[in-house]
Amino acid sequence: MQFLEEVHFQKHMQKRLSRYRKIIDSNIKFGLAALILVVPLYPKFPFLNIPGTQVAIRLEDLLIFIVLALWLFCSVEKIPKFMNNKIIIAFVLFWSISLVSTFSGVFITQTVSAHISFLHWMRRVEYMFGFIIALDVIKKRGDLAFYLKLLTIDLFIIFLFGLGQKYLNWPVITTQNAEYAKGVALRYIPGSHLISTFAGHYDLATYIVLMAPIFIVLSFGTRNVVDSVKIIKNSLVAKGIFLFISTISLWTLVNSASRISIASYLGSVTLALIFIKKYRYIPVVIVASILFISSSSNLIDRYMRIIEVTVQKVVGERGNIVELDLVYAAEDAPARRETKIPTPTPVPVFEDRSTSIRINVEWPRALRALKKNLILGTGYSSITLATDNDYLRMLGEIGILGTLSFSLVLAKIVYYLFAELLRHGSKPSLERYFVLAVLAAVPGVMLNMVFIDILEASKFAIMFWIILGLAISSANLLSNEKD
């Protein structure tokens, strides 16, 4: 009798758990929505400092943990299916190799502190979990539109906050050094970089590079694509809204004054228009963007500094070529005279400070770390706080093997997206346009990675993996409808 009661109780609990899982699964999109709103918009105030480190737990970390826990609870039965996914396998491979690299740095090269390096590894895994959560949220037409509306809100508030910082003396919260990372409120200084709600101007600029192609394709997309977002009934007005968001995003990008991000932006939006076959709009967008960019004296000065340094170096190298006077034999040797040699005037050094630091300090440091262990690197956190080149940072910290495994993750994602688009055909749809826009944004982000440690910036990194997850989820929807 007791046995039957236990069986009955277990069945009752299984039914209840199953019901709870279905409820959470049907509402997990709101957890992802919270991440999409909170991560870019909530300033980086520390919530809890970890003793003995400069690492702080922030609100976004707690939110990711809660959403991930809920996702795991309702996705237990899906885990075997996920583990058969080649992209997920690539992620697990990268996490495993980078963890081995962490142990190697602790025990073999002895270049890192165990707890610090492990925290760095956990942080990167945490960022990538945004991809896993977003991977299965686009289940029907209209789901993607929900997230695009949230991204529209994000960009508008980021613009407003940046506007407030520049003209209304709103607080600036940055993590550019240990003291500022405590949540100290600063003020915008005229001529400096705008950071809005982000921790630094590079993070903000690269986020705009990621978002810009999405809103450019919506600004110039077909009527049925624009109507699918359901932001407003009139499609012409909806296009106007997306064009407005694109314009204020460009203003934000220009005021961040990130030179490489401007080039990435122009390349990505051009590629996006090529992908959706709106070729005639390319000159319009490029010319309008350049005119907008030229209105920023700060950005123009920074570009002129590069040109000036380059010209001065070329002139300086040519100036080192000395023409020798012709020498003739004299009939009578003149008397020897002692002459004082004047102290030479120091040759002025022309250099761009940020470029010089990268080339002379940060990049060589990463290469020296790589030489210590070509295969596994010297472990996370071994190359101080900045390298300003994500590729060299990866090579130095997790070696050739870790860098190749990370490259495999990106390659698998890009290949899958292109393959699904080719299977689906060329009929315009919101999901197709979104996937194309994301594919156009990826090269821009990868170009920024040459000069920025952008995947170590939490706000950008979390959103980057979420956007890639949404793209895969959208491609899956296209594939299911095709089948």
How far is the CA of 344 from the CAs of 224, 347, 348, 349, in angstroms? 72, 9, 12, 15
Residue 329: the pLDDT is 47
The lowest-confidence range among 354-368, 409-423, 432-446 is 354-368
Residue 447, classed as helix, strand or coil, is helix
Q: What is the mean pLDDT of residues 223-241?
A: 92
User: Is residue 453 within 8 Å of 119, Cβ to Cβ?
Assistant: no
Q: Which two tokens stand for residue 103?
A: 């142990």
Angle at 121 between CA 115 and CA 122, to 5 degrees: 85
User: Is residue 15 pLDDT above 70, yes or no?
Assistant: no
Collapsing DSSP to helix, strand or coil, 9 comes out as helix
Cα separation, 385 vs 53, in Å, equals 13
Q: What is the mean pLDDT of residues 105-134?
A: 93
Backbone φ/ψ region at 482: left (φ over 0), alpha (ψ -120 to 50), beta: alpha
- Whether residue 14 is predicted with pLDDT greater than 70 in this model: the reply is no
Distance between CA atoms of 401 and 121, rounded to whole angstroms?
A: 16
What are 396-421's pLDDT values in tens digits? 999 999 999 999 999 999 999 999 99
Give the DSSP letter string of 117-137. HHHHHHHHHHHHHHHHHHTT-
208 vs 231: CA distance, rounded Å: 21
pLDDT value at position 159? 98
pLDDT value of position 324:
47
What mean pLDDT comes out for the span 141-170? Answer: 95
pLDDT beyond 60 at 328: no
Summarised one tens digit per residue, pLDDT across range 263-317 is 999 999 999 999 999 999 999 999 999 998 888 767 777 677 777 776 776 666 5
The mean predicted confidence, pLDDT, of the chain is 86
- Tally of helices (H runs) and strands (E runs) in the chain: 17, 4
pTM (two decimals): 0.89
% of the chain surpassing 90 pLDDT: 58
Note the pLDDT tens digit of each residue in 138-154: 888 889 999 999 999 99
| Whether the Cβ atoms of residue 404 and residue 395 lie closer than 8 Å to each other | no
pLDDT tens profile 188-230: 988 888 999 998 999 999 999 999 999 999 999 999 999 999 9
The Cα 95–Cα 99 span in angstroms is 6
| CA quadruple 280, 285, 286, 291: dihedral, nearest 10 | 140
Between CA 460 and CA 158 the distance in angstroms is 13
Which residues neighbour 228 within 8 Å (Cβ) at sequence distance 6 or greater? 141, 142, 145, 429, 430
DSSP 348: P
Question: What is the rounded distance in angstroms from the CA atom of residue 175 to the CA atom of residue 198?
Answer: 9
* Per-residue pLDDT at 346 exceeds 90: no
Q: How confident is the model at residue 183 (pLDDT cuts 50, 70, 90)?
A: confident
Mean pLDDT of 370-391: 91
Q: Is the pLDDT of residue 243 over 90?
A: yes
Distances (CA, A) of 124 to 66, 121, 461: 17, 5, 9
Q: Spell out the domain ranges in the chain.
A: 2-303+375-482
* 186: CB partners within 8 A, 6+ apart: 171, 172, 173, 174, 180
Retrieve residue 309's tokens: 């340094």
For residue 276, the 8-state DSSP code is: T
Residue 161 in tokens:
């906050």
* Alpha helices (runs of H) in 345-389, residue ranges in sequence order: 353-357, 363-372
pLDDT at 53 over 80: no
Lowest mean pLDDT among 18-32, 244-258, 377-391: 18-32
Q: What is the pLDDT of residue 415?
A: 96
Lowest mean pLDDT of 7-11, 28-32, 37-41, 214-218, name the range.
7-11
